[in-house]
Structure 1
Amino acid sequence: MKNYFWKMFSNIKNGQLAKKAFVYQKRKKICEEFLKILWDEGFILGYKIDSVNSNKIKIFLKYNNEEPVINSIKLITKPGRRVYYSIKQIWKLNSTKNFIIFSTNKGLKTIIDCKKLKIGGEPFLVIN
């Protein structure tokens, strides 16, 4: 299941390096949840289920003055190395420079949401 997640972010990274308008990704529930967060935070223009093949998601990439909005995506937790942060550790992180998405017991949350809800979790990735 997680392989689709890792592949989606490499697709987005590579698509933006190649200045593509959109990329395709296999449709999975976890991928749609991450895309919803990225769209809410303004990192992508949007996404939709492909009209021809309903097992694919079309992700519309966002650019500012022909520069990608997402400069870098760094994966924190990897399949071979899991990392978990408590709420105390999350409060020590600077949420103004980095955008971090956590997997919590309440679903996928941003670092700001984790601070508001006072919950820890597994950080998936950092976006600059």
Structure 2
Amino acid sequence: MVNDVISDFITRIRNASIVRHKIVKTPATKITIAIAKILKIEGFIDDFEKFENSLLIFLKYKNQNRYSIINSLKRISKPGRRVYLKKKNLPKRIGSFGVSILSTSNGIISDKMARLANIGGEVLIYIY
């Protein structure tokens, strides 16, 4: 059993994109499903599918050479060190490049949705 589900989830995606796999299998939890939904909405993955107790994630690549859309996945808030940001301190996107995933009182949402809802929260992941 893994203690930090989010770190395990992003490590599996990162490792699969490095070796250019098309599908990643991860344990399905409420948190991983919510993060996968955000990744799909923001265009970092093609799709995801829940299969029994697993989550199948279909990775997205740029062209025939299969350069990964995901350049970096970084875990920010960890079990030993939680990072919270107020609504005014949320990280700014440079153009449409990069996404922060937050855990808020409204659930797990992207930084864009947090700005629209005018709330802050715990920063889980940075993706670009």
The residue number in structure 1 matching 2:50 is: 49
What root-mean-square deviation, in Å, do the aligned CA atoms of Structure 1 and Structure 2 show? Answer: 1.3
Residue type matched to 1:40 in 2?
I
Which residue identity is paired with 1:15? A
TM-score by length of 1: 0.90
- SS of aligned partner of 1:64: coil
Question: Aligned equivalents of 2:22 and 2:84: distance in 1?
Answer: 35
Matched length: 123
Q: Deviations over 1:12-39 (max 9, x none)?
A: 0000001001010011111101101111
Q: How does 1:1-128 map to 2 (within 5 A)?
A: 3-50=4-51, 54-65=52-63, 66-90=66-90, 93-96=91-94, 97-128=97-128
Percent identical: 33
Distance 1:100 1:2, change over 3 A: farther
- Following TM superposition, by how much is the alpha carbon of 1:2 offset from its aligned partner in structure 2, in angstroms? 6.2
Runs of 4 or more consecutive aligned structure 1 residues displaced over 2 Å after TM superposition: none
TM-score scaled by length of structure 2: 0.90
Gaps of 5+ in 1: none
**Structure 1 pair 98/2, CA: closer, same or farther in 2 (3 Å)?**
farther
| Between 41-50 and 9-18, the greater mean CA deviation after superposition | 41-50
1:49, 1:115 → 2: CA distance? 29
